[in-house]
Structure 1
Amino acid sequence: MSVTARVYGYPPAHNAGSEWMLHSMLRPLAERGHRVTVWLSHPGTIEESYEIDGVRVVPFQEGSDFATEAQSADVLLSHFENVPLVSGLARARQIPVVVICHDNFATSYHNAAGADLVVYNSEWIRRDGEIHYARYPAEFLPGRTIVVRPPVIAEDYRTEPGDHVTLVNLNPDKGGDIFWQIAAWTPEWRFLGVKGSYGTQILPPTRLPNCEVADGVPGNDMREHVYGRSRVVLMPSLYESWGRVAVEAMASGIPVIAHPTPGLVESLGDAGIFAYRDDLTAWLYALGSLKDPANWERASRRAKARSDELSATPDLDLWCEAVESLYDARRRRSFHVAGAPPASLPLSAR
């Protein structure tokens, strides 16, 4: 089948968690033999079409034919601000539409109303979605909902931990200012701040000899350039609907200290070391405890166990089967309208 997506940006040029989650979901569809194309709605640094892991990407600079091409798709897909456009095209052509909800904002749920398949990135986002849709008439409810936790292939990130305390994305909401305060109070640690792909990046206010700032790192280079240098990962985020960086770090047994957002509590589970982002003393204490090799080893074992637990979830198989079922259902309807018996269509047709 032909799966066509319309999104703002895409790896490797757009290096954000939501986009890497999307790629991790489209990649197995391509591996199952489906034709997967992503059209970008914003100009990026890559100006010509390219392929990544079997997924064809059409940059904004070449993407003037999206509306025409979308009409021949078997399934349309989107997230964030492109959902209204894609949903409108899907309704006009009676094409199944898939919407990914990465957050619990009312706008996200509103835009996803009536989609054939809504994918939530965590159980808590699903619960909030059900509360939101409880006020809707039945005809506006999503046709089906599933949970797909942002897939992290542990082997792609697993490495020997390094010796730095690391924060990925130095913008204020991710805790860039808190990170440098912690660094100033703990000169016995070496700190690595990795610039993110969005938001104003906060640099250390004065030159700290124990600190290093690295430019943004593409997702497929994180193992070597980030996790291979990290002893501890900090996530003092104001909001995380899941926390992909935390899961990537745990693949290498790197302990994660995090502000207890609902997403980080769910993703880290028992492996999480939690401190409220406005309690600097708690962060200093938690980090100090990991200076003890025995404490670090215990935290590392919990991180690896949590990584193994998440890797064993059947989310990607569930995802692929859900998308394929939309295609199968559409073909059955087409055969029925044409007068052919619906039972003649193989359920696993691709």
Structure 2
Amino acid sequence: MPPEHNAGAEHMLVSMLRPLVERGHDVQVWLSRYGSAHEPYTYRGVRVVPLEARLDFATVVRRADVLVSHLECVPSTSALARGYGKLVVVVCHNTHSATFRHMAAGGTALAVYNSLWMEREAELFFAEYPKSVRPDSSLIVRPPVFAEEYRTKPGRAVTLVNCNAEKGGRVLEVLARRMPDTEFLAVRGAYGEQILPDLPNVEVVEHVDGAEMRERVFARTRVLLMPSSYESWGRVGVEALASGIPVVAHPTPGLCESLGEAGVFVDRNDVDGYEAVLRKLATPAEYRLAAKRARARSAELDPAADLAAWCDAVESLAR
């Protein structure tokens, strides 16, 4: 199960694997990119095997009951699975054509989509393919966020996590210049050219591991910005909701589905609109109302039912 080093995708996959460990299963993650680790280690109950360990993945495949793969690892993992007669589960994090095309090679026992709209996009894609190459079955597992792991007392800053242009780095820069009396937090992302304004009201925070988001980001955040050009779901927004932090976002299909009525939606090209919303949320009454909606949506997104269905599905394949 070799994942790509993508923060959102990696968090989703680990969150899905943890319940399988809790049910007593032997779960291993084999990394597909070089990193700093050279020896296998355990992360939240999951055994992680770095690429540098130079161990034999094919031997593990031969012994496995079920393989789980995602992103660019799907073609190679599926090929190994076909060779050894193993079942493959593909976890889909986006609606890019490659995500669905990799499954169209056939042999996918279960496709896991992170949202209803992604499932609909997949249905449209596979409508042009013969039934024989489509996934045998599908399941929706919304990226699991355990609210108690993120819940904290909000801070004072307006925050953007990952400041590349597609995530809204330019929006943050313009807002910070227009609102010099407002504190902004710019969290450096793991990918993309970062737009980090050198302004007295902008504090730049280096890339934050998921386990440290509560203390280093959400405990300092009053409002979260998500003016992203594309989000298949928007996990960081759901993490913020756990603390009653309002999220002001561009209305991508994924963000509309994940944030629901708690989201405050403004087109990413309408910086005037973002400024107006931030000034409105500066009033206590408006903020209390937005925070109440955020906490209510967080409760609605309790991952227990999704994860139970996921574990049942994997166990049924293993049997």
TM-score normalized with structure 2 length: 0.97
Amino acid at match of 1:59: P
> Which portions of structure 1, spanning 4 or more consecutive aligned residues, are displaced by more than 3 angstroms?
none
CA contact (8 A) 1:235 1:259 kept: yes
* 2:260 alignment partner in structure 1: 269
**DSSP-derived class of the 2:100 partner:** helix
Q: In 2, Cα distance between the equivalents of 1:224 and 1:44?
A: 25
**1:6 and 2:5 matched:** no
CA contact (8 A) 2:103 2:133 kept: no
Q: In 1, Cα distance between the equivalents of 2:4 and 2:96?
A: 18
- Kindly state the Cα deviation for residue 186 of structure 1 after the two structures are TM-superposed: 1.0
CA contact (8 A) 2:69 2:89 kept: yes
Bigger drift between 22-31 and 312-321 goes to 312-321
Q: In 2, Cα distance between the equivalents of 1:48 and 1:313?
A: 33
- Kindly state the Cα deviation for residue 310 of structure 1 after the two structures are TM-superposed: 0.5
- Kindly state the Cα deviation for residue 312 of structure 1 after the two structures are TM-superposed: 5.8
* 2:145 alignment partner in structure 1: 152
Q: Aligned pair in 2 of structure 1 residues 181, 301: CA closer, same or farther (>3 Å)?
A: same
**Aligned residue runs from structure 1 range 139-218, under 5 A:** 139-204=132-197, 207-218=198-209
Q: In 1, Cα distance between the equivalents of 2:38 and 2:283?
A: 49
* 1:314 alignment partner in structure 2: 305
Q: In 1, Cα distance between the equivalents of 2:262 and 2:181?
A: 24
**DSSP-derived class of the 1:71 partner:** helix
CA contact (8 A) 1:165 1:190 kept: yes
* 1:117 alignment partner in structure 2: 110
- Kindly state the Cα deviation for residue 92 of structure 1 after the two structures are TM-superposed: 1.1
Amino acid at match of 2:192: G
Q: Aligned pair in 2 of structure 1 residues 312, 111: CA closer, same or farther (>3 Å)?
A: closer
Amino acid at match of 1:163: R
2:211 to 217, 220, 223: 220
- Kindly state the Cα deviation for residue 171 of structure 1 after the two structures are TM-superposed: 1.1
Q: In 2, Cα distance between the equivalents of 1:230 and 1:239?
A: 22
* 1:331 alignment partner in structure 2: none
Q: In 1, Cα distance between the equivalents of 2:220 and 2:172?
A: 17
**1:253 and 2:244 matched:** yes
**1:292 and 2:283 matched:** yes
**DSSP-derived class of the 1:68 partner:** helix
Q: In 2, Cα distance between the equivalents of 1:49 and 1:313?
A: 29
* 2:87 alignment partner in structure 1: 96
* Structure 2 alignment gaps of length 5 or more: none
Amino acid at match of 2:299: D
- Kindly state the Cα deviation for residue 298 of structure 1 after the two structures are TM-superposed: 0.2
1:60 to 45, 51, 55: 51
Superposition CA RMSD, Å: 1.0
CA contact (8 A) 1:40 1:63 kept: no
- Kindly state the Cα deviation for residue 313 of structure 1 after the two structures are TM-superposed: 5.7
CA contact (8 A) 2:31 2:48 kept: yes
CA contact (8 A) 1:271 1:299 kept: yes
**Share of identical aligned residues, percent?**
53
**DSSP-derived class of the 1:47 partner:** coil
CA contact (8 A) 1:253 1:303 kept: yes
2:36 to 34, 45, 56: 45
Q: In 1, Cα distance between the equivalents of 2:267 and 2:92?
A: 26
Larger radius of gyration: 1
- Kindly state the Cα deviation for residue 180 of structure 1 after the two structures are TM-superposed: 1.1
Aligned residues: 317
Amino acid at match of 1:213: V
**DSSP-derived class of the 1:311 partner:** coil
TM-score normalized with structure 1 length: 0.89
Q: In 2, Cα distance between the equivalents of 1:69 and 1:154?
A: 34
- Per-residue CA deviation, residues 12-50 of structure 1 (Å, 9 max, x unaligned), is xx6x11110000000110111000001111101222211
* 1:133 alignment partner in structure 2: 126
* 2:16 alignment partner in structure 1: 25
Amino acid at match of 1:6: P
- Kindly state the Cα deviation for residue 167 of structure 1 after the two structures are TM-superposed: 0.5
Q: Aligned pair in 2 of structure 1 residues 103, 312: CA closer, same or farther (>3 Å)?
A: closer
CA contact (8 A) 2:69 2:77 kept: yes
